[in-house]
A and B are shown apart, each in its own frame.
Chain A
Amino acid sequence: MAKSSGTKPQVKTKTSWKSALKRDWQLYLLLLLPVALVIVFNYAAYPGLRMAFMDYKPMKGFEGSDWVGFRVFQKIFKDHDFTRALRNSIIFNLLDLLVGFPMPIILALMLNELRFMKFKKVTQTILYLPHFLSWAIIGAVAYNMFRPATGLVNTLLVNAGIIEQGIPFLNEKWHWAVTYLLIGVWQGMGWGTILYLAAITSINGELYEACIIDGANKWQKMWHVTLPGIRSTIVTLLIMNLGRVMGSNLERLTAFDNTQVRDFQYQLAIYIYQKGMGAGKYAEGTAVGLFQSLVGVVLVLLSDKIAKALGEEGLL
């Protein structure tokens, strides 16, 4: 049974399903488990998307509720809460990208310059840590740092006489926006360096030697060898991140929630949770989720096209 199996990949032979099943029935058996899981827990949820086109009443169910075409979508696009959530999501995601994307690159370049391997290792270990902590922990610790009256940062600044009253880092919307973004950068910066550091180690050492012979200094080497060497990693990651502009992280948003910052904190994940779940407006919640998913898919496909057009390896 196994004699002919896969020994000659270069010869394209069409195996019939009968012989394939006979040879690999165990493999198909293995596949049964994950396929069953995605069908039960992912695909089975797709019919629920009907709600976006229905005047869905939980009591009546799918059969009893009326179809309304695109009226739910028309309704949400007129809903100020939705437009606010959409605007906030896009703006904050773009800002996240703007502030957060360059940071790992800069960090990786700095780490690459370090000559003391022990120091480098310890630094990396410490910088990766925030990536492994939940948003619940990060939020809790952030409040301990930034509470206006009792937070560590404010207490130290007041004691030093720099400020008179605590800065509302997390309790006023503009301050909140900055703090929220910076905490996001902080959380992801260390972990983000891994791919860049890997790309840097694969740069041909002879390029650096040639540079040295030409008398290049450290910055010139960085600019002319290291950065071009990790260009394709940068482009790929940038495009991948652009595909996530519609995303919205319920945990991160709720971890920094309080009544004073709802103007900015109100993003798509919160909308779906509060309106769709909390207020029981299933149709609206589903429509917004569908909108988010579809835009996400389109963005991923677009990103893939752009990456390939730029001569990089695609994502799909």
Chain B
Amino acid sequence: MAKKNMEATASDGSRAISKFHISDVIIILVLVILCSTCVIPFWHVLVKSISGDMAVMMKEVFFWPKDVTFSAYSKVFADKSMVHSMIYSVVVTLIFTLMGMVVCTCAAYPLSKKRLKGKGFFTFVLMVPMYFTAGMIPSFILMFNLNLIDSMWVLILPLIYSPYNMLVMKTYFQSTIPDSLEESAYLDGATNLQVLRKIVLPLSKPIIATLSLFYAVGRWNAYADHMYYIRSDSKRMIQYKLYLLVQGAEASISASLGDTGGASNVTTPEVLQAACIMFVSVPIIIIYPFLQKYFVKGAMVGAVKG
């Protein structure tokens, strides 16, 4: 593509010398601005989190820390409930991802087989929840009747089967695993499970990686279910704790001072709040660049049908 653009430039004599158009400059400028809207806010919060309380209150901290101190972080790490919540979130996410992948494979592999009798029926049964949900109140009553309210499992079990992820995996099985490979295994007398374990799964590592990430990030970031199902502090995942913390601070600002609120009256001092934000964001921000390509792959497979 790059070469072609150059040729196009060359066909226009006046611009042949400078390979760099004004339009290129504009595009790069726009993209740089957009990127900075994604970076600067986090940089600012990071800088705030390691600055002194006074400097932040005097509004002297912008893009570089002042009176560098890590006391806010030591407070966060000393807060047992925060650290517990972080560990708890990791555990829930891991269990969720593992179980989710098992369920996903159990659904996608049989449904990827053309010959499966009753395939249409099973596909229908497994796809309906994607389009028609009973809504939050009936779900709440159901979880209540299942005795799952305020249990760790209410954050895991209702969501481990995901129609969307199943579709992605099924599409992958159908499009990338050559039928001939499986057939020859059947001829050698392998059973369905052996084919799955010895042939299909080893060939599906990329999609397994991708979907595991979808599951993990999905669970890690979601917290709406906490609002309905979780009561006690020890069962809250870290994102919900951050949400409560920020909401609490905002409520106290707008309640006590109206539109022109100040930092002095905030329940959670800004620096501590910034440290909490970083504490919660950093796991994703650190692992994200390494895993990005898997996400992109998954998004493309999913687009084939879904």
CB of A132 within 8 A of CB of B284, answer: yes
CB of B161 within 8 A of CB of A34, answer: yes
CB of B160 within 8 A of CB of A37, answer: yes
Q: Which residues of A contact B193 (CB under 8 A)?
A: 26, 30
CB of A251 within 8 A of CB of B142, answer: no
Say whether B70 faces chain A, with CB atoms less than 8 Å apart.
no
- Among A156-205, those with CB < 8 Å from B are 156, 165-166, 168, 171-172, 186, 189-191, 194-195, 198, 205
**What total count of A-B pairs have CB within 8 Å?**
320
Interface of A is mostly: helix
Known: A2-B186, A26-B191, A194-B300. A149 touches B109 (CB 8 A): no
Known: A166-B260, A285-B137. A132 touches B126 (CB 8 A): no
CB of B192 within 8 A of CB of A48, answer: no
CB of A254 within 8 A of CB of B243, answer: yes
Q: Which residues of A contact B261 (CB under 8 A)?
A: 147-150
CB of A2 within 8 A of CB of B139, answer: no
Contact of A27 among B28, B30, B109, B223 (CB under 8 A): B109
CB of B280 within 8 A of CB of A137, answer: yes
Say whether B157 faces chain A, with CB atoms less than 8 Å apart.
yes
Q: Which of A144, A219, A250 has the most CB of B within 10 A?
A: A144
Q: Which B residues are closer than 8 A to A by beta carbons?
A: 1-2, 4-5, 7-8, 11-12, 21, 23-24, 27-28, 30-31, 34-35, 37-39, 41-42, 44-45, 48, 59, 62, 102-107, 109-111, 113-118, 122, 125-126, 128-129, 131-142, 146, 157-158, 160-161, 166, 179, 183, 186-187, 189-193, 217, 220-224, 227-228, 239-240, 242-243, 245-247, 249-251, 253-255, 259-263, 270, 273-274, 276-277, 280-281, 284-285, 288-289, 292, 295-296, 299-300, 303
14 A–B contacts, CB within 8 A, in A order: A3-B187, A6-B183, A9-B115, A31-B106, A115-B1, A119-B28, A125-B289, A128-B292, A136-B242, A140-B273, A217-B8, A250-B224, A260-B259, A288-B135
